[in-house]
Amino acid sequence: MFRTTSEVRMDFRTLGATGIRVTPLCLGAMMFGAVGNPDHGECVRIIHRALDAGINFIDTADAYSRGESEEIVGKAIKGRRDALVIATKFYTKMSDTDPNMRGASRRWIVREVENSLRRLGTDYIDLYQLHRYDIDTDIEEVLFTLTELVRAGKIRYFGSSTLPADRIVESHWVAERRGTLRFRSEQPPYSIFNRDVERFVLPACRRYGMGVLSYSPLDGGFLAGKYRGPADFAGPNNRIERFAKFSRGSFDPDADYIRRKIALVGELTRLADEAGIGLAELAVAFVLQHPAITAAIIGPRTMQHLESVIRAGDIALSAETLDRIDALCPPGTMFDPVNDLPSGTMKSALRR
């Protein structure tokens, strides 16, 4: 029914209105380095496997293992860089002592882009992304700075990540009014279990011709079948627990929303079995069939993780399968009680 992994063929898609053609699977590099896989040689092999399978799109960030991920990507793309679309990000703090080595100030952006270029071993970045909305920096300042980087040849295009719909609209209004270039892409979380962006973010991106490279299509491992019960949350590399503690201050593996997800994983696994594909493939293929999505970011830590999803870019789910997914997880809904909120939202001064 489907090709083997050695015969994967992925049709190219256009990244918004940029004219850049990218594969529907984007290789995410967050797990390359100390946070995930510290073995540089193995990480390079994973990247090469993805490139050999036809993927031409790689996404990383300065914050991923404090630059180590960018360095690994730089090693892997030597001799192949011209055929690839390389995306990275800025915003997250890169120093525990210097308060200005973070954010979206002009001072930091013009410094950090040089650092990313050096780590990646390239003289330009195809897509430079604001990792989070910076409530302390005027969006006009950000757009002017990024526009100048395009004109200087440091970057080709720039985009955003996890911007709410109102900030996306605001950024385009400011760009039109002030004569700057505009965000050409958005990177939101999107999965069967997190469909909140279907309500406002994805329509806004379509309205303004933005490409969308969505992250976490496997919902942190839930939709890979990694978690089947509370005991499965113990041990290293547990991103679910780390993120939950960061965003909510605590983590309860017996929480109702966790139990609900685990129950739904069983239903979705049966659905995937009937379709003749793996659960992870079902989850990624679902994301890719939304008309606003350009690419789904897959972030493997091991070669096995990559092999489990690499066919997904070549799978089309039937209307019946999509309807059954909608019945289990209705459009526009989100199971987690708190999503990844924009920078500054949790500041007490803004709530009182």
Tokens for 180? 């700057």
* Residues facing 211 on adjacent strands: 185
The label of the residue with tokens 């192949």 reads 80
Specify burial of residue 88 (Cβ count, 10 A radius: 0-12, 13-18, 19+). buried
Specify burial of residue 139 (Cβ count, 10 A radius: 0-12, 13-18, 19+). buried
Taking the C-alpha atoms of residue 54 and residue 277, their distance in angstroms, rounded to an integer, is 20
- Residues near 212 by beta carbon (within 8 Å), at least 6 away in sequence: 16, 185, 186, 187, 188, 202, 205, 292, 293, 294, 295
Q: How far is CA 330 from CA 197, 220, 222, 269, in A?
A: 13, 20, 17, 17
Taking the C-alpha atoms of residue 115 and residue 121, their distance in angstroms, rounded to an integer, is 10
The label of the residue with tokens 């955003």 reads 160
Locate all alpha helices (DSSP H) within 276-349, ordered by sequence.
Answer: 279-288, 303-309, 319-328
Q: How far apart are the first and last CA of the chain?
A: 57
Q: What's the number of CA atoms in the CB half-sphere (13 Å) around residue 154?
A: 20
Helix (H) or strand (E) holding 66: none
Taking the C-alpha atoms of residue 149 and residue 88, their distance in angstroms, rounded to an integer, is 14
**Among all residues, which ones are annotated catalytic?**
64
Taking the C-alpha atoms of residue 49 and residue 58, their distance in angstroms, rounded to an integer, is 13
